[in-house]
Amino acid sequence: MQVIYARNVYCSRGANLQPVTARTDDPGKSGVEMKGPSYEKLQNIRQSRLNPALATYYSKPLALHQGYKQWLFDINGKRYLDLLGGICTVSVGHCHPKITAAVNSQMDTLGHVSNIYYHPKLHEYAERLTDKMPGELKVVYLVNSGSEANDLAILLARLYTNNFEVLSLTNCYHGMSPQTMGLTSLGAYKYCIPQPPGHHHVMNPDVYRGIWGGANCRDSTVQTTRTCNCSSNFCEASDKYFDQVAIQFDHNIPKGHVAGFFAESIQGLGGIIQFPKGYLKRVYELVKKNGGVFISDEVQAGFGRTGDNFWGFQGHDFTPDIVTMAKGIGNGYPLAAVVTTPDIAKALTKASHFNTFGGNPVACSVGISVLDIIEEEKLQENSKLVGTHLLSELAKLRSEFPIIGDVRGKGLMIGIEMVNPGTKEPLQSKKFLKFFDTCMNLGVLLGKGGVYGNIIRIQPPMCITKEDADFTVAVIKHALQSD
């Protein structure tokens, strides 16, 4: 099979991408010939045997066959730069040899036992993971997905506080289980069924699209172009959005009886929304005064992705009571966790609680390898270096193309909000899809998000290079010029 490297089929020359000679040599891993159904057969099975709720990207869905580090290969051997990382899941790179070796070794030794037994990897990983946590966050319960982790965090908050009401932000995504659907505040992810009781949503502090905010509000190298009266020491938008939370407490929550407040450090599926400086810390303090606990959802922002810190919440200058994590924790392997304090953890002993696959030996081996790789390959540092460069280069496109309304993010968690030129109206879906398809055809896979589906999400494996970042900017620029 000929392996075609899309990045070598096009290169940046001035304002355009020009065709150059395709390469068939592989710099890191030999192409593996695909043995399996044809594209047409895959399409037929998809339409007749898989649930129609399984959505796909692009006008013609991609059929992928192989991955290596920051690259994905389709069934014809064409290579793509993966800037979505399996929806912010592949943290250290596709098919990382260290993870592959760890999985094979553990499967040869002990593939599965439940946590009713001691086994070495569960205990080794529990210690390694909680060593990365600040303060009293030293007790972990391992599960299999972000939805499971957030579901368990709701239960812990209610059991520990003996309160019931749970708050989260509008525009957030925390899962699709019947319980976490109540936390989530994106209409496209809610079914027309009774929502679970005890859930409330407060105004999302979006300094680009929201009521307040401007050019001094974000903890980021790139700010919105809106003007504001904020200074380096004072954020007016933070005050005003916090007041909206206080109003909710005054009017809708029994005084002193909140169970918990959920927030991502940076909203992921909601469109890489960054909050004004100081906002989350003040909300944390309000929640604590009212008898509740603060839950930080680190499913997307954790494990060094934001660059400055290993955990996203560390950029907000407070330590939450419960932290949930998934996705990048296992580099694509089903693994998730809830970390909390010893006192809060004890609340789960009020009844029997069991998770068959939580703490599986293979999953724990993968988790240990992920922590090793992040440290050994300095991927947190790479996230900051490459991510800051990419953000700065994308911000330059904003002044050239009015279709780009906002560029935001930290590290390798980046959002580009696409709008109708001259307005903040979300870009029409047909135009967005055309742009999306063009980038894919040029060899770059992007994500999308936001309530209107008009925000580009860039959350790649953290091993991408500055060269990859420059290629990405060239492809995006070419796609915008082609519109």
pLDDT at 189: 95
Do 441 and 386 have their domain in common?
yes
Query: Is residue 349 classed as helix, strand or coil in its secondary structure?
Result: helix
Same domain, 151 and 294: yes
CATH of residue 272: 3.40.640.10
3-state secondary structure of 292: coil
Can you tell me whether residue 267 is helix, strand or coil? strand
Q: Which two tokens stand for residue 138?
A: 């030293």
Q: How far apart are CA 261 and CA 145, in angstroms?
A: 20
The answer to whether residue 87 is domain-embedded is no
Cα separation, 76 vs 99, whole angstroms = 26
Does 44 lie in the same domain as 189? no
Would you say residue 93 lies in a domain? no
Q: Are 462 and 374 in contact (CB under 8 A)?
A: yes
Is the pLDDT at 70 greater than 60? The verdict is yes
Looking at 376, 404, 422, which one is the last position of a domain? Answer: 376
According to DSSP, the residues that pair with 340 across neighbouring strands are: 139, 322
Q: Is the residue at 234 inside a domain?
A: yes
Separation between Cα atoms, residue 143 and residue 13, nearest integer Å: 48
Residue 32 pLDDT: 74
71 and 113, same domain (yes or no): no
Give tens-digit pLDDT for 306-320.
Answer: 999 999 999 999 999
Instruction: Give CA–CA dist 253/236, Å, rounded.
Output: 25
Flag whether pLDDT at 24 surpasses 50: no
- What is the rounded CA–CA span in Å between residue 320 and residue 137? 8
Q: Which residue range is the domain that position 237 belongs to?
A: 98-376
Rg for the chain, CA atoms, rounded: 22
Per-residue pLDDT at 29: 52
Cβ proximity of 353 and 166 under 8 Å: no
Total of domains in the chain = 2
Cα–Cα–Cα angle for 352, 356, 360, rounded to 5 degrees: 125
Domain end call among 330, 357, 376: 376
Rounded distance between C-alpha atoms, residue 460 and residue 453, angstroms: 19
Q: Band of the pLDDT at 230, cuts 50, 70, 90?
A: confident
Q: Are residues 387 and 449 in the same domain?
A: yes
Nearest in space to 326 (alpha carbons), one of 68, 142, 459, 101: 142
Are 345 and 442 in a shared domain? no
Which CATH number covers residue 421? 3.90.1150.10
Among candidates 435, 430, 364, which has minimal Cα distance to 109?
A: 364
31 falls in which pLDDT band (50, 70, 90)? low
Q: Is residue 89 part of a domain?
A: no
Domain boundary residue, one of 332, 353, 376? 376
Residues 301 and 357 in one domain: yes
| Beta strands at 336-340 and 139-143: parallel, antiparallel or unpaired | antiparallel
Q: Is the pLDDT of residue 12 over 80?
A: no
Residue 395 phi, psi dihedral angles, 5° rounding: -60, -30
The structure tokens 């997905």 sit at 145
- State whether 347 and 238 are in the same domain: yes
**Which pLDDT belongs to residue 56?**
94
pLDDT digits (tens, 9 = 90+) for 86-143: 999 999 999 999 999 999 999 999 999 999 999 999 999 999 999 999 999 999 999 9
